[in-house]
Amino acid sequence: MVITDFLERNSRLYGDEISLVELSPTEHRDKASTWREASLVEAANPDAPYRREMSWRDFDRRANRFANLLLSRGVPRGTKVGMLLMNCLEFLPIYFGILKAGCIVVPMNYRYSSDEISYCLDLADVEILVFGPEFIERMEDARRNSPRVKSYFFVGKNGPEYAENCIHLMNFCSSSAPPVALSEDDYAAIYFSSGTTGFPKAILHKHRALYSSCLTEQHHHGQTHSDVFLCIPPLYHTGAKMHWFGSLASGSRAVLLRGTKPEWIFRAVTEEKCTIVWLLVPWAQDILDRIDSGALKLSDYLLDQWRLMHIGAQPVPPSLIKRWLSVFPHHKYDTNYGLSESIGPGCVHLGVENTEKVGAIGRAGYLWETKIIDESGSPVKRGEVGELAVKGPGVMVCYYKNPEATAEILPGDGWLYTGDMAREDEDGFIWLVDRKKDVIITGGENLYPVQIEDYLRSNPKIKDVAVIGLPDKRLGEIAAAIISVKEGETLTEEEVDAFCEALPRYKRPRRVIFADVPRNPTGKIEKPVLREKYCGGRLVEAQVTN
């Protein structure tokens, strides 16, 4: 089987049932009405409906229409089709339409700057790009540096002249399944990852990986046809999409919430009768803080059907989970560990029955194997620290067009070397100790220290700079800049903050420390020394997921 078979099956079995709901709450809405009522009132304004929904049959037909649109343009099998969209009702049908056409789908981070967009389009050999209204300004610059892209499709109204209206064109295409045979060995998707340099690597996956992810997710979280999954994180990321794959496998409903306010999350759970919610640490922290302050009252919402809360994409403080379970004692809790190179979450899995092990990332996930190895690739003794390696059907094919980087983490025996240092306890549970890589994970987003360091070094008053992650209760980690000022110059924290306003907000250092930057004899920054000095040598006792 391939993953599109699930969609076609759901269309046959559950055609009239709702597959996806999109909620777009804003501050000015009438709080007295439900989102469904608000959507009906605003039906005359289709540009910004509050609540939209789509049946399984419509989902499959829209995917077929987009596939047939590509085929009508003579797009050959294996063409890379990029997606630059916010979470919306159109995202997944277009994603599956690309797959159904035999093409390779390339989802892109909606935080990318125009330069990063151009870089990734070129790296992945993207020839067709589908994008939304939020990216018009960035695309003006990006497309000038992306000569390989031949066609642009726009999702929305009033798009730029160079892009065709995707939804309008789909209306003239057949809703029948395209005549394209797919196999599990066909290339399916390219996702982007990045190391400490900040330059994205293109991760190539086969259909086998996508399909296996559905099986792993449903096995771990037991989605049934009656479940309703609340999805808040971005669908371009393997974490959000592969957790939604459990809904796909079970033919159950999912809700895409465009917003993270605790009140919006609780309204969505109440009005859509959500049973499973995947959160990031900051959102869970915000919910608990609002409850503690009295601003969020559980009695105002209907939450009894909510059975599972799971967290991923960043370090998860055990204290947060213990606090959550004290407020929601009927909830099951879970976490998964994974990489985009392992098709996202699930290669290591804690399990809802193992809350006494909160802090560990778990044991090998369904269909996966794990081992902890030394520098020679040999397994270490239980309890000793080594590098975590994983093996399973979701391991990537390669880093596209990067054989050197591929060889570093795929030695040729089917094992993927994660770059994370870990130990295994006496019960077989894996605990992360530290990361080989210097990536900072803040609020579920990766920050790349080299990018921030390079920018800060352009300040004429700065002699040297190092950026490290410091533990943070809400975000998991924050970026801290250790700055050495040039002799004879003065520099204040306020001046640094003002200088960094040109950076995207999430990339700005949250803390500035004026001190010497230690370097070893070869000139490399000694970041372990800085971590030892400013955060005790390691991050909080936490688990890194997704």
Asked if residue 539 has pLDDT above 70, the reply is: no
How would you class 388 by CB atoms within 10 Å of its CB: exposed for 0-12, middle for 13-18, buried for 19 or more? buried
Indicate if 194 and 179 belong to the same structural domain.
Answer: yes
* Two structure tokens written together for 218: 């449903």
3-class secondary-structure state, position 273: coil
The proportion of the chain whose per-residue pLDDT surpasses 90, expressed as a percent, equals 71
Looking at this protein, which amino acid is placed at residue 344?
G
Asked if residue 485 has pLDDT above 80, the reply is: yes
Note whether 383 and 424 are within 8 A (CB). Answer: yes
Asked if residue 544 has pLDDT above 90, the reply is: no
Domain assignment present for 225: yes
Query: Which residue has better confidence, 486 or 104?
Result: 104
Please name every residue paired with 221 in a beta bridge, in sequence order, or none if there are none: none
Residue 442: pLDDT band with limits 50, 70, 90: confident
Domain containing residue 517: CATH number: 3.30.300.30
Domain assignment present for 302: no
Residue 434: pLDDT band with limits 50, 70, 90: low
Q: Which of 259, 290, 311 is the last residue of a domain?
A: 259
Helix (H) or strand (E) holding 496: helix 493-499
pTM score, two decimals? 0.84
**Residue 28: what pLDDT?**
47
**Residue 522: what pLDDT?**
43
Asked if residue 42 has pLDDT above 80, the reply is: no
**Domain of 215, in residue numbers:** 3-42+52-259
Spatial distance between the Cα atoms of 430 and 359, rounded to a whole number of angstroms: 9
Nearest to 249 by CA among 216, 202, 272: 216
Query: Which residue has better confidence, 143 or 444?
Result: 143
What are the Cα distances from residue 392, in Å, to 205, 341, 346, 404? 13, 11, 10, 22
Domain containing residue 127: CATH number: 3.40.50.12780
In this structure, the number of other CB atoms found within 10 A of the CB of residue 187 comes to 17
Domain containing residue 401: CATH number: 2.30.38.10
Residues 427-439 have a mean pLDDT of 80
**Residue 35: what pLDDT?**
54
Query: Which residue has better confidence, 437 or 404?
Result: 404
* Two structure tokens written together for 319: 């204290």
Asked if residue 376 has pLDDT above 50, the reply is: yes
Give the sign of the dihedral formed by CA 402, CA 142, CA 26, CA 50: negative
Asked if residue 437 has pLDDT above 50, the reply is: yes
Spatial distance between the Cα atoms of 271 and 32, rounded to a whole number of angstroms: 13
Indicate if 128 and 247 belong to the same structural domain.
Answer: yes
Indicate if 429 and 461 belong to the same structural domain.
Answer: no
Indicate if 157 and 9 belong to the same structural domain.
Answer: yes
pLDDT tens digits, 491-511: 999 999 999 999 988 899 999
Asked if residue 48 has pLDDT above 60, the reply is: no
Asked if residue 109 has pLDDT above 60, the reply is: yes
Indicate if 137 and 245 belong to the same structural domain.
Answer: yes
Residues 6-34 have a mean pLDDT of 83
Domain assignment present for 304: no
Indicate if 452 and 363 belong to the same structural domain.
Answer: no
Asked if residue 204 has pLDDT above 90, the reply is: yes
**Residue 447: what pLDDT?**
81
Spatial distance between the Cα atoms of 286 and 149, rounded to a whole number of angstroms: 41
Query: Which residue has better confidence, 239 or 446?
Result: 239
Query: Which residue has better confidence, 41 or 53?
Result: 53
Q: Which of 397, 414, 435 is the last residue of a domain?
A: 435
Query: Which residue has better confidence, 84 or 437?
Result: 84
Tokens 């969505």 belong to 268
E strand residue ranges, 268-410: 276-279, 308-311, 332-339, 344-349, 363-364, 369-373, 386-391, 398-399
Distance between first and last Cα of the chain: 25
Spatial distance between the Cα atoms of 481 and 452, rounded to a whole number of angstroms: 9
Note whether 25 and 33 are within 8 A (CB). Answer: no
Q: Which of 408, 435, 462 is the last residue of a domain?
A: 435
Asked if residue 438 has pLDDT above 80, the reply is: no
Spatial distance between the Cα atoms of 8 and 214, rounded to a whole number of angstroms: 15
Q: What would the DSSP string read from start to end of 401-421?
A: T-HHHHHHH--SSSPEEEEEE
Residue 30: pLDDT band with limits 50, 70, 90: very low
Count of domains observed in the chain: 3
Residues 419-439 have a mean pLDDT of 84
Domain assignment present for 303: no
Residue 36: pLDDT band with limits 50, 70, 90: low
Domain assignment present for 202: yes
Note whether 7 and 60 are within 8 A (CB). Answer: yes
* Two structure tokens written together for 8: 């076609």
pLDDT tens digits, 289-347: 899 999 999 999 999 999 999 987 666 778 889 999 999 999 999 999 999 999 999 99
Residue 537: pLDDT band with limits 50, 70, 90: very low
Spatial distance between the Cα atoms of 60 and 76, rounded to a whole number of angstroms: 21
Phi and psi, residue 253, nearest 5°: -75, 150
Indicate if 83 and 160 belong to the same structural domain.
Answer: yes
Domain assignment present for 386: yes
pLDDT tens digits, 220-231: 999 999 999 999
Spatial distance between the Cα atoms of 200 and 194, rounded to a whole number of angstroms: 4
What average pLDDT is seen over the chain? 90
Give the sign of the dihedral formed by CA 473, CA 474, CA 477, CA 483: negative
How would you class 504 by CB atoms within 10 Å of its CB: exposed for 0-12, middle for 13-18, buried for 19 or more? exposed
Asked if residue 43 has pLDDT above 50, the reply is: yes
**At a CB cut-off of 8 Å and minimum separation 6, what does 98 contact?**
66, 67, 70, 81, 83, 104, 105
Indicate if 447 and 378 belong to the same structural domain.
Answer: no
Indicate if 120 and 213 belong to the same structural domain.
Answer: yes
Indicate if 177 and 243 belong to the same structural domain.
Answer: yes
Note whether 70 and 78 are within 8 A (CB). Answer: no
In this structure, the number of other CB atoms found within 10 A of the CB of residue 224 comes to 11
Q: What would the DSSP string read from start to end of 173-199?
A: S--SPPS----TTSEEEEEEEE-TT--
* Two structure tokens written together for 390: 């994983």
**Residue 432: what pLDDT?**
82
Indicate if 491 and 406 belong to the same structural domain.
Answer: no
**At a CB cut-off of 8 Å and minimum separation 6, what does 449 contact?**
196, 198, 438, 439, 440, 466, 467, 468, 479
Domain assignment present for 176: yes
Domain assignment present for 360: yes
Asked if residue 538 has pLDDT above 50, the reply is: no
Indicate if 423 and 458 belong to the same structural domain.
Answer: no
Residues 481-500 have a mean pLDDT of 94
**At a CB cut-off of 8 Å and minimum separation 6, what does 229 contact?**
223, 243, 244, 246, 247, 252, 253, 254, 255, 274, 275, 276, 277, 278
